[in-house]
Amino acid sequence: ALVTGRGLRSLGLNDSEYTLQNGCVFKGRRVMIPYDLHREVLKELHIGHVGIVKMKSLARNFCYWKNIDRDIENIAKNCRVCCLKQNEAPMERSHSWEPSSRTWQRLHIDFAGPMSGQYYFIIVDSYSKWVDVIPTKTSTSQWCMKQLRNLFCNFGFPDVLVSDNGAQFTSKVFKDFLQANGVTHKTSAPFHPSTNGQAERYVQ
């Protein structure tokens, strides 16, 4: 939302929750979208008929307006293709992750997107809830390994890395990379609320 010549308080916004950057209002890292652009943003989020969870994942990384979750649910629930995909999705066994006792003990990684031609690599530390989001146009094993090497050089190796069963995370080269560095790799169903643990919690 572009703001010119007016402060946050004049818009009825609490400056402890919202910030003004270059004329745009942000809630955390998410830009507030004006009402007349809601429909266009929803169309972008709905590309590919990715379903409610993925649409919310994208929105919660980048954009915000009051009741955006409700609007996303209405779009997906009234879309025949999204409903068919949801009904065809296999049921997954519930998995409850044990609480971490220290920082960097367990990391959860996932991809969100595509949105406007880009994917977003999401990394969550299960203990501190620290989140890193890296935009990318590729999602190969080699690219993921490069990003993780940079993180590991700065913060050390985690005990456990949790991902979905995407090809980039289940390839031999990716598994060998983690094994060589003493990192235990655990997989869960992609974007499944009961198995995706911290990644799903971050989405929420």
Query: Residue 21 is part of a domain; what is its CATH number?
Result: 1.10.340.70
User: Which CATH number belongs to the domain containing residue 130 in this structure?
Assistant: 3.30.420.10
Same domain, residue pair 117 and 74? no
| Distance from C-alpha of 159 to C-alpha of 180, rounded to nearest angstrom | 13
| pLDDT at 5 (0 to 100) | 42
In a structure prediction context, what are the per-residue pLDDT tens digits for the chain, which is 204 residues long?
A: 545 445 666 666 776 778 877 777 888 778 888 888 899 889 888 888 878 877 887 787 778 898 999 999 999 889 988 887 666 555 445 456 788 899 999 999 988 766 667 788 888 888 887 878 788 888 899 999 999 999 999 999 999 999 988 899 999 999 999 999 999 999 875 444 344 445 444 444
| pLDDT at 98 (0 to 100) | 83
| pLDDT at 162 (0 to 100) | 92
| pLDDT at 192 (0 to 100) | 47
Number of structural domains in the chain: 2
Same domain, residue pair 122 and 199? yes
* Residues 53-88: b if buried by 16+ CB within 10 A, e if exposed: bbbbbbbbbbbbbeebeebbeebbeebeebeeeeee
**1 inside domain:** no
For residue 56, give Cα distances in angstroms to 72, 178, 200: 7, 30, 10
| pLDDT at 201 (0 to 100) | 47
Same domain, residue pair 81 and 17? yes
Same domain, residue pair 22 and 62? yes
Same domain, residue pair 75 and 157? no
| Distance from C-alpha of 109 to C-alpha of 120, rounded to nearest angstrom | 11
| pTM for the full predicted model | 0.56
| Distance from C-alpha of 155 to C-alpha of 103, rounded to nearest angstrom | 10
| pLDDT at 183 (0 to 100) | 97
**95 inside domain:** no
**2 inside domain:** no
Same domain, residue pair 29 and 112? no
| Distance from C-alpha of 40 to C-alpha of 192, rounded to nearest angstrom | 27
Strand order in the sheet with 118-125: 131-136, 118-125, 106-115, 160-163, 184-187
The last residue of a domain, from among 88, 114, 132: 88
Domain containing residue 122: 106-203
Same domain, residue pair 71 and 110? no
**172 inside domain:** yes
| pLDDT at 96 (0 to 100) | 64
| pLDDT at 193 (0 to 100) | 39
CB atoms < 10 A from the CB of 120, how many? 19
Sequence-separated (6 or more) residues with CB below 8 Å from residue 184? 159, 160, 161, 178
Same domain, residue pair 63 and 129? no
- The first and second tokens of residue 64, run together, are 């915000």
| pLDDT at 202 (0 to 100) | 47
